[in-house]
C-alpha cells in the first residue's frame, strides 16, 4: 500500500473543454507547481496563477499525502457498519462508496470515476486510486454527508469495540471522524462552487 492520493476540486466546465485524452495529463501537471506557496501540511491550496485558478488542492492533515489512511478508514467502516443505525449506514455507505470504499460486496471492483470523464487510465503517471466525480455526483455525496454527520457521534462506543486498532493509520474513532471531515470539506467546497472532485495517485 505505497500509494498516494492528491485531492482536487475542479471547475468542471473548464475540465470538460480539455480534450478527453489530455485531461489526466493536464490535471497531473496542474495539481502542483514549483513555488513554496503550494506546500501546506493541511487544508486548502489555491494556486495564484491564472492558468491554475480553475482548481484547488485539499491536503488531509497528518497523512503526508498517503492513501493508507483512506484505505484503513474504509476498512474500519467495513468493520463497524453492521453496528450503525439504518440512517447512518445508508448515508455513509453512499458517501464512502462514491470516494474510497469498494462497497459491501466482498468481490466488487468499485469504480470511483463518473462515466465520460477519462477515456482510459493509461495516462496516469503512476498506478493507484483514481476518483472523478462531476458536480451532480458531488451534490449527491454532499447530501449523504449531511445525513450522516449529525448521527455519526452515536457510533463512538461501537467503533471502539469493533473497529479501533491502536497503531494503525486510523487508530480510533477520532481519527476516523477527522478523515471523514476532510472528505466532507473537499466535497462541500466542490458543491459550494458547483465544481467536480478529482483524486489522483500523485
**pLDDT at residue 38 in the model:** 60
Low-confidence ranges of the chain (pLDDT < 50): 1
Alpha carbon distance 31, 56 (integer Å): 8
Specify the pLDDT at position 36: 52
The x, y and z cell numbers of residue 180, run together, are: 471523514
Q: How far apart are CA 26 and CA 19, in angstroms?
A: 10
User: Is the CB of residue 162 less than 8 Å from the CB of residue 90?
Assistant: no
pTM: 0.93
Predicted confidence at residue 1, as pLDDT, reads: 45
Residue 165, pLDDT score: 87
pLDDT at 167: 79
b/e per residue 99-119 (b: at least 16 CB within 10 A): bbbbeeeeeeeeebbbeebbe
Amino acid at each position: 500500500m505505497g500509494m498516494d492520493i492528491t485531492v482536487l476540486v475542479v471547475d468542471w466546465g473548464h475540465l470538460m473543454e480539455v480534450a478527453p485524452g489530455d485531461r489526466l495529463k493536464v490535471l497531473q501537471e496542474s495539481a502542483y507547481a514549483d513555488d513554496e506557496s503550494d506546500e501546506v501540511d493541511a487544508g486548502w491550496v489555491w494556486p495564484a496563477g491564472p492558468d491554475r485558478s480553475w482548481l484547488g488542492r485539499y491536503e488531509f492533515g497528518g497523512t503526508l499525502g498517503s492513501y493508507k489512511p483512506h484505505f484503513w478508514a474504509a476498512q474500519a467502516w467495513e468493520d463497524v457498519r453492521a453496528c450503525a443505525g439504518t440512517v447512518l449506514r445508508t448515508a455513509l455507505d453512499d458517501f464512502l462508496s462514491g470516494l474510497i470504499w469498494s462497497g459491501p460486496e466482498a468481490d466488487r471492483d468499485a469504480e470511483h470515476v463518473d462515466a465520460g470523464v477519462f477515456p482510459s487510465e493509461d495516462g496516469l503517471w503512476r498506478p493507484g486510486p483514481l476518483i472523478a466525480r462531476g458536480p451532480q455526483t458531488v451534490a449527491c455525496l454532499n447530501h449523504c454527508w449531511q445525513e450522516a454527520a449529525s448521527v455519526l457521534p452515536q457510533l463512538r462506543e461501537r467503533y471502539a469495540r469493533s473497529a479501533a486498532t491502536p497503531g494503525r493509520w486510523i487508530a480510533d474513532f477520532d481519527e476516523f471522524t477527522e478523515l471523514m471531515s476532510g472528505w466532507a470539506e473537499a466535497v462541500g467546497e466542490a458543491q459550494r462552487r458547483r465544481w467536480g472532485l478529482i483524486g489522483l495517485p500523485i
